[in-house]
Structure 1
Amino acid sequence: MIVTEEDGSARVDANGHPMTRRVARFPLSWSEKHFATSTDSYLTKDETLSDEERVGLAKLQ
């Protein structure tokens, strides 16, 4: 998600790149569709994690 200024333009960092904010990828509410989905669809194999995700997982463990 791009961070915007009051006028709606993209806020940029010192290098001129658009700034982004982290957003939750997990739904904040559940629907009947979520309960109909198997638990396997919510699981992630360790080998598919990026280096950044592995570091985050190690911090949680």
Structure 2
Amino acid sequence: MPGVDGVLDTGGKARHGLDYERAGNLVLVAERGAWFTYLLCSDRLPTATRSRRLRPEP
């Protein structure tokens, strides 16, 4: 997938200090200069979330 530098599983999350309960099953790591947006899955978000910007993009 364009913009993805890596995918961290359980061991990878632990090595990067991301092994906490709400981190999810897998963590995607963006390539330098890329970022991910929650809008990629906006069809599954609650209605209120679709109408708000959570934070400005870089």
TM-score band, normalised by shorter chain: under 0.3
TM value normalised by structure 2: 0.27
**Greater Cα radius of gyration, structure 1 or 2:** 1
TM value normalised by structure 1: 0.26
Structure number with the higher strand fraction is 2
